Amino acid sequence: MRPSRSPTIVLPGIAVLGIVILLGSIVAVVADEPAKPEAASREKVARRFAAEHHPELARLLGELAKQDRKQYDAAITDIHRAIDRMEKYREKHPEKYEITLEDWKLSSRIRLAVARMSLTKDPELEAQLRELVEGRQRLRLKPLRTEAERIESRLEKIRTTIAEHDANPEAAVEKELASLLRSVRSAEDRGRGKSAKPAPEKPANETPAAPAPAPEA
């Protein structure tokens, strides 16, 4: 008889993270495939990022590295993509950077909660999931509200311009006509300036001509 193989022991955390990966990318926003740095450097950056912004995910990554290297590498790649995407906003759009970072943190926690709910029916997990979803929806509404305010401000200026014109359309016509006539006169003045030829100036060091001699008597 062949000796039976010992079953592979999978920690609960690994099962959770494995389901997360099967559900899709861990990150909420995935950019185009970035240029990949050295694998070791990429792994270090991703692990440090996870430890800072989602400690629970960082712990699960440590377990996954021991159990399933392929899934671990996939998770590291996804996290690094998210980092690349967020770094594009850090300097020029700091507010967008902060929102994208918070979105990633909430989305990562949501996926872990969904994965856990697939393994155990715990009412507390559902309550936690609801709270996370509510938080993410509030977060994603922030830039939409800001954009709506910007558009409303622009519309108000447009309405004011239209109202001023409708109140006195003749004044608007006269104002534009006066501007056009000024440009015409300016062009005419430039044309006359080019056509007028100034008398040539004498060199400063030129010696004056000697007077003609008087006629002889």
Q: What is the pLDDT of residue 172?
A: 86
Residue pLDDT, tens place only, 135-144: 999 999 999 9
Q: What is the pLDDT of residue 21?
A: 55
- Tell me: pLDDT of 123 over 80: yes
Mean pLDDT, residues 72-77 taken together:
91
- Tell me: pLDDT of 105 over 90: yes
Question: How many percent of the chain have pLDDT more than 70?
Answer: 71
Residue pLDDT, tens place only, 12-63: 555 666 555 544 544 433 334 444 547 788 899 999 999 999 999 999 999 9
Contact 58, 51 (CB under 8 A): yes
